[in-house]
């Protein structure tokens, strides 16, 4: 996508207004122009100019009617106009020759009101288009975890209220899911920025090169990269650890110790946030993960775990469990677990499937239903640590749904309609939604 270049011209149906419209189209702009009467003439003008490849629209609008102008202005708030030419109306001296002073002043008031009302609706998007700031909020649409405890809206609000009041409306916050696929993630970010008027030749990507995980900043050819140093001593991991470590303790003392690291508005947000009901369970999971990693700290090398998962489809439904143990207790997941020492990945996948769901079909049925095996190995896909999983996709066709029953580590099990999965995205453990997306194309309609 390229930067939208659309101009709104009032009173552009004929005369000077039509000349302005022709000139703007000649310069390469798309144009919306309003007219009060002479509909045939206005539409003929729009049709002729559109033949040259530009998008030109004739819009009927009576600027003397406040209610009509107000309704029109509200619709303009959803369009990214790059300029407004207010050509409608007549100068005061011309009006005064046709009517008495009171009527002339009343007419000027209507003209002036229409102009200011349109400016109010258009100026915000015009300013964003020329000097806007887009903040990409990653790891969006995920379940809360100790690593990502805040929703994308909460993170956006923390940033927004920390800005000077005059700048708050100049920032667009864009949620982007992780995808665990850098190519798709880059395309999603590019599409989101372009949608907000970001011509590639005018985009500056601001970021901090912390370590190898920051290499994504160089994945946007055509965008200028502005490298900035570390800002103060703020560290998201340290702040989260401090909060979870004081669960049930003196949160005010913890926040007081962070006074030099985070803005006052963020401290106030966190003070309210830790009182929400999910904080306690997140803190418990944080402690469990900390103890889990501590247990492996004496290993001669950082551990790499190998797991298996089973994505089972039947009659446009997919088999899901709710996890009965932390991490991710109560979240949706596909059946799976750790590989056994004397099993291959297929044998482990079928065994875990039976243990957690009691799905027990003939060996030949399962072999014939296996359509694909995919490896998911993103370094950050699991909160436990480096975990590589082999996901097996079984399609049982349109047969009757096999009976299932939760067992082993599963809290519950159910056949869930595939059309409902996208709405459940924020209720999945680790990257299991993205496994389903890989096999079932849940986000394919988004075009990234």
Give a yes or no: residue 15 inside a domain: yes
Q: In whole angstroms, what separates CA 328 from the centre of its chain?
A: 22
- Are both 397 and 431 inside the same structural domain? yes
Give a yes or no: residue 318 inside a domain: yes
- Are both 381 and 248 inside the same structural domain? no
What does 24-43 look like in DSSP terms, one character per residue?
Answer: HHHTT-EEEEEESS-HHHHH
Question: In sequence order, what E strands does 284-369 have?
Answer: 305-314, 317-323, 332-333, 336-338
Supply the pLDDT for residue 353.
Answer: 97
What's the rounded Cα separation, in Å, for the pair 163 and 249? 30
Supply the pLDDT for residue 340.
Answer: 96
Q: How deeply is 173 buried, as exposed, middle or buried, from its count of CB atoms within 10 A (0-12, 13-18, 19+)?
A: middle
What's the rounded Cα separation, in Å, for the pair 170 and 172? 7
- Are both 25 and 78 inside the same structural domain? yes
Give a yes or no: residue 381 inside a domain: yes
- Are both 337 and 416 inside the same structural domain? yes
The DSSP letter of residue 272 is: H
Last residue of a domain, one of 115, 130, 145: 130
Signed CA dihedral, 155, 158, 162, 165: sign only: positive
* CB-CB contact of 262 with 234 (8 Å): yes
Last residue of a domain, one of 100, 130, 160: 130
Q: Structurally, how many domains does the chain consist of?
A: 4
The DSSP letter of residue 212 is: G
* CB-CB contact of 158 with 234 (8 Å): no
What's the rounded Cα separation, in Å, for the pair 192 and 173? 10
- Taking 50 as the pLDDT cut, the residues of the chain under it are 1-4, 89, 91-92, 94-95, 106, 108-110, 129
* CB-CB contact of 384 with 146 (8 Å): no
Give a yes or no: residue 1 inside a domain: no
The DSSP letter of residue 428 is: B
User: What dihedral angle (degrees, nearest 10) is formed by the CA atoms of 366, 372, 378, 382?
Assistant: -20
Angle of helix 101-131 versus helix 66-76 axis, rounded to 10? 10
**CATH number for 110:** 3.40.50.720
- Are both 355 and 237 inside the same structural domain? no
- Are both 148 and 194 inside the same structural domain? yes
Last residue of a domain, one of 77, 106, 130: 130
What's the rounded Cα separation, in Å, for the pair 407 and 86? 70
Helix then strand then coil, in percent of the chain rounded to 5, is 45, 20, 35
Give a yes or no: residue 102 inside a domain: yes
pTM of the model: 0.70
Supply the pLDDT for residue 122.
Answer: 64
- Are both 123 and 145 inside the same structural domain? no
- Per the structure, the complete domain to which residue 72 belongs is given by 6-130
- Measured from the Cβ of residue 224, the count of other Cβ atoms closer than 10 Å reads 12
- Are both 27 and 121 inside the same structural domain? yes
**CATH number for 167:** 3.40.50.620
Supply the pLDDT for residue 64.
Answer: 77
> What radius of gyration do the chain's Cα atoms show?
29
Supply the pLDDT for residue 100.
Answer: 56
Supply the pLDDT for residue 1.
Answer: 36
Q: How deeply is 252 buried, as exposed, middle or buried, from its count of CB atoms within 10 A (0-12, 13-18, 19+)?
A: exposed
- Measured from the Cβ of residue 118, the count of other Cβ atoms closer than 10 Å reads 23
What's the rounded Cα separation, in Å, for the pair 78 and 202? 22
- Are both 268 and 285 inside the same structural domain? yes
- Are both 311 and 425 inside the same structural domain? yes
Give a yes or no: residue 144 inside a domain: yes
Give a yes or no: residue 300 inside a domain: no
What's the rounded Cα separation, in Å, for the pair 348 and 430? 20
User: What six digits make up the tokens of 61?
Assistant: 């609008």
- Are both 438 and 348 inside the same structural domain? yes
Question: In sequence order, what E strands does 30-121 have?
Answer: 30-35, 56-60, 81-86
| 3-state DSSP assignment of residue 358 | coil
- Are both 73 and 136 inside the same structural domain? no
């Amino acid at each position: 996508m390229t930067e939208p270049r659309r101009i709104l011209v009032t009173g552009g149906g004929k005369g000077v207004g039509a000349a302005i419209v022709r000139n703007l189209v000649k310069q390469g702009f798309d144009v919306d122009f309003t007219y009060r009467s002479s509909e045939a003439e206005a539409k003929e003008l729009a049709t002729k100019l559109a033949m040259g490849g530009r998008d030109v629209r004739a819009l009927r609008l009576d600027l003397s009617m406040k209610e009509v102008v107000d309704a029109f202005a509200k619709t303009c708030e959803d369009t990214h106009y790059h300029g407004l030419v207010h050509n409608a109306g007549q100068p005061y001296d011309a009006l005064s020759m046709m009517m008495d002073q009171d009527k002339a002043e009343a007419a000027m008031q209507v003209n002036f009101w229409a102009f200011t009302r349109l400016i109010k609706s258009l100026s915000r998007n015009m300013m964003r288009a020329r000097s806007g700031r887009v903040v990409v909020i990653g790891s969006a649409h995920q379940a809360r975890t100790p690593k990502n405890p805040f929703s994308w809206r909460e993170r956006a609000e923390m940033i927004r209220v920390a800005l000077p009041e005059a700048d708050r409306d100049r920032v667009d916050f864009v949620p982007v899911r992780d995808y665990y696929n850098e190519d798709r993630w880059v395309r999603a970010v590019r599409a989101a920025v372009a949608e907000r008027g970001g011509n590639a030749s005018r985009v500056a990507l601001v970021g901090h090169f912390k370590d190898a995980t920051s290499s994504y900043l160089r994945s946007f050819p055509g965008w200028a990269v502005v490298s900035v140093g570390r800002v103060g001593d703020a560290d998201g991991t340290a702040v989260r650890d401090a909060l979870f470590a004081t669960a049930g303790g003196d949160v005010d003392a913890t926040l007081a110790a962070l006074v030099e690291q985070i803005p006052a508005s963020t401290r106030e947000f966190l003070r309210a946030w830790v009182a929400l009901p999910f904080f306690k369970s997140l803190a418990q999971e944080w402690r469990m993960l900390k103890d889990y990693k501590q247990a492996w700290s004496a290993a001669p090398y950082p551990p790499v775990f190998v797991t298996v998962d089973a994505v089972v489809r039947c009659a446009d439904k997919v088999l899901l469990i709710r996890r009965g143990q932390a991490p991710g207790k109560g979240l949706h997941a596909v059946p799976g677990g750790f590989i056994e020492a004397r099993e291959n990945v297929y044998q482990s996948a079928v065994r875990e499937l039976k243990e957690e769901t009691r799905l027990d079909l003939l060996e030949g049925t399962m072999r014939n239903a296996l359509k694909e095996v995919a490896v998911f190995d993103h370094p950050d896909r699991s909160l436990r640590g480096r975990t590589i999983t082999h996901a097996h996709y079984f399609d049982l066709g349109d047969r009757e749904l096999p009976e299932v029953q939760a067992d082993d580590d599963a809290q519950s099990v159910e056949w869930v309609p595939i059309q409902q999965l996208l709405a459940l995205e924020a209720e999945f453990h680790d990257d299991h939604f993205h496994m389903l997306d890989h096999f079932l194309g849940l986000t394919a309609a988004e075009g990234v």
